[in-house]
Amino acid sequence: MKLIGDNELEWLSMGASVFGGGGGGDPHMGSLMAGHALDTGGEVPLVSLDSLDDEDLILPVAMVGAPTVMAEKFLSGDEGDRLKTAMEKALDRKISAVCCAELGGVNGVIPVMWATRIGLPIVDCDLMGRAFPELQMTTAAIAGVSINPVVITDERGNVVQFRTVSPKWAEKMVRTVVASMGAAASLCLYPMTVAQAKTATVVGSVSRAMEVGRLLLEASDDPIAALCDSVDGYPLIEGKLVDVERQTTEGFSRGSATIEGTGADSGRLLRLEFQNENLLAMEDGRVLASVPDIITAVDVHTARPIVTERLRYGQRVSVLALPCDPIWRSDKALEVVGPKVFSYDIDYVPVEELHG
């Protein structure tokens, strides 16, 4: 067992944003709220799956909605308790621990606040190993774990619970409910036993994110090189953002960004396409990286990750690509998260094959 305190929270916020690939929401607001919860409630345990009984029940939790709204629409802080209470009532079972539904941005840190407030540990795993924009894009869905029941709540105290015939239908219904709640809300889904989680999650992802975040914060000479070394990353371009197009539609932040190369990359133009998360990096019609591999834009001086809703004209950035968890590279997984799912008429090629 490890304990997550203020330092570990800062590491987690940084690392989760690296693996989030521009998505998961801006971690700043979540870090402030989680930090306050730690100050008042004490450190929260981070436990391994092996430390729990196989029949213990784990509750994946997250915020859902448009990242541009999530950055400005503060939580009440009581959402975690409402989610836990509703799920325990629906299943007639006690929840033993919570975990991140996705390891990215705000969703990497907000479970710390809820776990602290409801007095439960966080399990060292998540359902993506990165961030994805839709609810069916999870390791739990790939493994055949039921998404039901799904519980949604907002900062006002409204609670909605439903069961659906498939994760894809849950995605449609959740978006409708979240829109009525102001385009951002909190939810829990895919309740599972520890035995299920051992084959239906990305195990060790939280501690890995914390280690990467710690390395970035402590790196002094060349943080971008240190980051690439730690995550097997590939630098795609260093340059200046010269164009950003973004709009919030159907609960998503969609758009593109163009980076003009500087220094050794002068004369190059790279285009990023995103739907909450960065999905595609292209140069002169050539694919440099694509989903499900992770594409992350970082500050050129500090290597601090920049979420897509914070991309601005004139920023100096480095764009990196890093391999996704191997679970996403199976044929079954690519049918759920591959480039063609997002309407890109290309075949997925692992980033290390593109740049190895």
Q: What is the pLDDT of residues 180-202, one digit of tens each?
A: 999 899 999 999 999 999 999 99
Q: Quote the CA–CA distance of 174 and 178 in Å, as a whole number.
A: 6
Crossing angle, helix 223-231 and helix 205-218, to 10 degrees? 160
- What does the pLDDT read at residue 68? 74
Other CB atoms closer than 10 Å to residue 50's CB: what's the count?
10
Residue 355, φ and ψ in degrees, nearest 5: -125, 0
pLDDT at 302 over 80: yes
- What does the pLDDT read at residue 153? 98
Angle at 124 between CA 120 and CA 128, to 5 degrees: 115
Q: What is the mean pLDDT of the chain?
A: 94
State which CATH number among 3.90.420.10, 2.40.390.10, 3.40.190.10, 3.30.70.890 fits the domain covering 224-355: 2.40.390.10
| Bridge partner residues of 258 (DSSP) | 243, 271
Displacement of CA 41 from its chain's centroid (Å): 25
CATH architecture of the domain with range 2-206? 3-Layer(aba) Sandwich (3.40)
Segment 232-291, tens digit of pLDDT = 999 999 999 999 998 877 667 789 999 999 999 999 999 999 988 999 999 999 999 999
- What does the pLDDT read at residue 253? 74
Q: Residue ranges per domain, the chain?
A: 2-206, 224-355
Q: Quote the CA–CA distance of 324 and 343 in Å, as a whole number.
A: 20
Crossing angle, helix 106-118 and helix 6-20, to 10 degrees? 140
Provide long-range contacts, Cβ within 8 A and 24+ apart, for 197-201.
197/49, 197/58, 197/99, 197/123, 197/125, 198/49, 199/143, 200/127, 200/139, 200/140, 200/142, 200/143, 200/144, 200/145, 201/49, 201/99, 201/125, 201/126, 201/127, 201/139, 201/140
- What does the pLDDT read at residue 251? 64
Other CB atoms closer than 10 Å to residue 351's CB: what's the count?
25
On the question of a common fold for 2-206 and 224-355, the answer reads no
Q: For the residues 70-87, what does the mean pLDDT come to?
A: 91
Contact 13, 109 (CB under 8 A): yes
Segment 44-60, tens digit of pLDDT = 999 999 999 999 999 99
The pTM for the full model equals: 0.94
- What does the pLDDT read at residue 284? 95
Segment 90-137, tens digit of pLDDT = 999 999 999 999 999 899 999 999 999 999 999 999 999 999 999 999
